[in-house]
Chains A and B, each alone.
Chain A
Amino acid sequence: MDVAGITPTLRAKDYKSDVAPVWCPGCGHFSVLSAVTKALAHLKLHKERVAMISGIGCSSRLPAYVDAYGFHGIHGRALPLASGLKAARPDLTVIVAGGDGDGFSIGGNHFLHACRRNMDLTYIVMDNEVYGMTKGQASPTTQPDWAKSKLTPHGTGMRPFLPTAIALAAGASFIARGFAGDPNGLTKLLVEAIEHPGFAFLQVLSPCQTFRPEQKEWKHLVHPVETAPTDDPVDAARFIQADDGMALGLFYVRRLPVWQPQNQPTATPADLEREFAL
């Protein structure tokens, strides 16, 4: 992130755009939006130095609701879109937002490679264990016996994808989980994620009011992580494998080399042409 650009006067609401969200009342994504604006205000970032990048889904609508630069791309491709932007413009704070379908299903391959490329990006996945936008199909994080979708009337029959375990295995350098129902904790994690130099992965449990009303129960199931964040991937793996999926907090953070081209020009195209002359 860029610490040079400091605007002391902005408050969280100043980072909200005047576009009205399309989300259903009670959707967890609202809290994520507020936490994003609070984190930006806390970090005193210049709005024009922030870029919010997303794919497609209810959650991926978030960029338009933030008063910053944004790109609402195509389904599953938010991470490459953001990686190209960051490669070209290291001066910007680039935040990627999306859903569990966008990030783990159609965009799953990019997730692996963004973790291992370790560019200085923040990746927020609003996980509601469902495809909200397309009206309630199973996603990679849906439990195998969830049979409410017409597409999978007997459930998926597949074990869910474990985002934090995959992120660790793929080489992410910051792995945390937040909850839409815990706005303060979420804001704090977001601030840490944005400040982390490298790829910061933040899974946010963000209930889908409409297609997964039972997720209202999540507020009773979540619990803070009891141990301090580790920088040891073996300890982190042990913790993540034992986790019930409801622990909130920062699990793992480690300084790893950040991939960022920063070349200074030392030649012009005319200089390069000389190599072709006979």
Chain B
Amino acid sequence: MTDRPTLAGGATLAITGSGGSGAVTAGLILLAAVGRAGYFGLLGRSAGPQIRGGESAAMLRFGLRPIECMGDRFDLLVGLDWENVARFADELPLDRDSLILTDAQAGPIPEILVRSGAQVRSLPWKALADAAAEGRVNMVALGMVGAMLGLPLDALEAGARTTLGGKGGRVLTPSLDCIRSGYSAADAVPVSPSALAPAVARWNISGNEAAGLGAVRGGVRFVAAYPITPASEVLEWLAPRLELLGGSLLQAEDELASINMIIGSSFGGVPSLTATSGPGLSLMVEGLGLAVASETPVVVVNVQRGGPSTGIPTKSEQSDLNIALYGLHGDAPHLVLAALGIRDCIDTVEWAVGLAERLQTVAIVLSDQMLGQSRAIIDPPGDRPFGAGERPRLLRPIAQDADPDHRRYRPAPDGVSPMALPGLPGGMYTAEGLEHGAGGTPSSRAIDHAEQLDKRLHKLTGFDYGPDWAEIRGEGDHLLLTWGSSAGPVFEAAERLRDSGTPTRAIALRLLAPLQRDALLEAIGSAGSILVVEQNQAAQCFAYLHSQRALPEHARSFARPGPLPLRPAEIMRALTDRDGREET
């Protein structure tokens, strides 16, 4: 790359600045603008440890196909100023082909960025901003960068309107002026006309909003939760919208309360969910065991962050698989799912709600900060529900009549016994967390324990989950196997390997428990090299799959902790470099 990025397949750029510089706002506008211009896009953001303000970076990748991960490097770094940017340097891989755009008046570029060999261009943003009434450097830079990227001015203006519209004309009008002034001052000739507008209107959505939408599509009408980063946006999205749907959100005193509240509301017949992150999930596990034992459907969306303990609240990691799988005491079978991308947060959460309801159990859905707090331009979700059947199959079996012989926990062929809802005459029972007999009366007899344990296990293992337990792409003797948000870089790595002559297939697990072992072994087939990819230190998924005898002996692990996102190139290297340090 020379003076400007080539636009053929889009570009990857980062905008950085100190608190108040408006880097993230500029990123949000740019995402909306590339969407308007017919591109897909993905916007991640990174913030310093400050509660409010402080330095931040917006990272945008856009292109002609759905964008599922950030890629390996940045074409363009837009430096509004350089205060504290060194804190992000390791999140901003640049190279000799990268271009740094800045204004010389913003001060010297930090050495750590210069060392990358990236080219530098200084542009007169500050002068242009000073020339305008209430001028804003970020908006001038945005206009100029938009022009250099070949985006139509009206797409940028529309992006600004949707992003800043809520702030009123006093913010919007000068911003639009600055965007126009930057746009017309750009000397670069826009590359090729922009991508074709898609037939269906695409969506601009974050993973946390997507999880909230999946919940209400699945029928959730009650949520109780305690705020926690990076899950709070799920709750912020849901609170006013549940009211419109006739439901409600209750802000609980803690997560011990929130999980028990949703068990109560679900017992009352209303599909219920909570969203949290690692520390909150830790507090919930006793309650989850109660939901398993009492066979009360509940869904927990766990937006993972760096752990253990308070860990790294604002950064991503896939290190809560173990607690999701094994955190509950006793033999407590339940569902564990993982969203494979931002768009997949919609479908996977919706599916989890349906499964929890149908199977009267707990579903934990693992998302993470990377998915939850990033935004993407996506195609709207499809109409096909996940799983083997139609949506009605996923309704909770409810006892309809006053059946004198109604016994809440009576073993049934599929293990799921109809549940009477309070209000139904003749259906009265006491839901029980103590082990119980078929009628619900506490029992410590071996025969009752065995019967109820089997009931709760077999209703999950005997269910037909259909083809959506995993997403499988491509063919090849090499196999990349992953779960959750690592699917994005893994899919890209597999595709690039195929393109470069190394046939590679990718399997991303969406349903982790119960593990669809037979289907997985069949999908693995006779793959010659297998690499299990995940973003945690302990290779949690690799160990789990081995414990389930779902992996051939020669499978290897590539596991490393967050907070840096997994990048396609490192996955490709780990697969091909058999002698690498990743060898397990």
Contact = CB atoms under 8 A, between A and B. Distances in A.
A80 B431 contact: no
Contact of A72 (B205, B426, B432): B432
B257 A80 contact: yes
Given A83-B250, A84-B250, A277-B201, A48 B423 contact: yes
B279 interface: no
Nearest to A266: B244
Interface string A177-200: 000000000000000000000000
Contact of A88 (B222, B426, B431, B433): B222
B250 A71 contact: no
Given A53-B264, A80-B256, A276-B204, A265 B245 contact: yes
Interface stretch (B139-147, B185-193, B286-294, B555-563): B286-294
Contacts of A69: 420, 422, 427-430
A71 B485 CA distance: 37
B258 A67 contact: no
B380 A48 contact: no
Interface stretch (B67-75, B267-275, B504-512, B525-533): B267-275
Interface stretch (A211-219, A223-231, A247-255, A267-275): A267-275
Nearest to B264: A84
B265 A67 contact: no
Interface in B407-456: 420, 422-434, 440-442
Contacts of A85: 264-265, 267-268, 422
B267 A267 contact: no
Which of B258, B287, B289 is the most central at the interface, judged by chain A CB atoms within 10 Å of its CB?
Answer: B287
Nearest to A82: B264
Given A80-B258, A109-B253, A87 B422 contact: no
B458 interface: no
Interface in B288-302: 289-290, 294
B241 interface: yes
Which of B202, B260, B427 has its CB near the most chain A CB atoms (within 10 A)? B260
Given A49-B422, A83-B250, A72 B222 contact: no
Nearest to A109: B253
B241 A272 contact: yes
Given A69-B422, A71-B267, A73-B260, A84 B222 contact: yes
Contacts of B202: 277-278
B36 interface: yes
Contacts of A273: 203, 213, 380
B272 A84 contact: yes
B262 interface: yes
B216 A272 contact: yes
A103 interface: no
A269 B248 contact: no
B265 A70 contact: no
B243 interface: yes
Contact of B250 (A48, A72, A87, A278): A87
Interface string B175-217: 0000000000000000000000000011111000100010011
Contact of B204 (A48, A87, A278): A278
A19 B437 CA distance: 12
A74 B260 contact: yes
B245 A84 contact: no
B238 to A, nearest CB: 10
A29 interface: no
Contacts of A80: 224, 252-253, 256-258, 260-261, 264
B400 to A, nearest CB: 14
A81 B260 contact: yes
B422 A64 contact: no
B517 to A, nearest CB: 32
B32 interface: yes
Contacts of B294: 71, 73
Contact of A276 (B205, B257, B263): B205
B152 interface: no
A89 interface: yes
Contact of B431 (A19, A70, A110, A267): A70
B209 A88 contact: no
Interface in B142-162: none
Could you say which interface size class chain A belongs to? 35 or more
B442 A64 contact: yes
Contacts of B423: 48-49, 89, 91-92
B308 interface: no
Contacts of A109: 253-254, 256-257
Interface string A52-76: 1100000000011001111111101
Contacts of B36: 278
Contact of B428 (A53, A68, A82, A112): A68
A269 B432 CA distance: 33
Contacts of B422: 48-49, 51, 69, 85, 89, 92
A62 to B, nearest CB: 10
Contacts of B424: 48
B216 A74 contact: no
A260 to B, nearest CB: 9
A71 B263 CA distance: 10
Contacts of B434: 72
B270 A88 contact: yes
A16 interface: no
Nearest to B221: A88
Contacts of B441: 19, 64
B35 interface: yes
A276 B244 contact: no
Contacts of A269: 213, 216-217, 245
Contact of A261 (B213, B250, B380, B432): B250
Nearest to B203: A276
Nearest to B265: A88
Contacts of A83: 250, 257, 261, 264
B244 A265 contact: yes
A64 B441 CA distance: 7
Interface string B324-356: 000000000000000000000000000000000
A72 B436 CA distance: 11
Contacts of A72: 430-434, 442
A71 B430 contact: yes
A47 interface: yes
B377 interface: yes
A71 B426 contact: no
Contacts of A82: 264
B265 to A, nearest CB: 4
A64 B422 CA distance: 15
* Residue of B241, B266, B423, B427 with highest tally of chain A CB at under 10 A: B423
A277 B203 contact: yes
Interface string A34-48: 000000000000111
B411 to A, nearest CB: 20
Contacts of A79: 257
Instruction: Enumerate the 9 nearest inter-chain pairs by beta-carbon distance, A residue then B residue, closest first.
Output: A84-B264, A84-B261, A265-B246, A261-B248, A70-B430, A88-B265, A85-B264, A80-B260, A80-B257
Interface of A: 19, 46-49, 51-53, 63-64, 67-74, 76-77, 79-89, 91-92, 109-110, 112-113, 261, 263-269, 271-273, 276-278
Given A48-B423, A87-B222, 8 more contacts: A46-B425, A80-B252, A80-B256, A82-B264, A92-B422, A261-B248, A266-B244, A277-B380
9 contacts: A51-B422, A69-B430, A77-B290, A89-B269, A263-B247, A266-B244, A276-B213, A276-B380, A278-B377
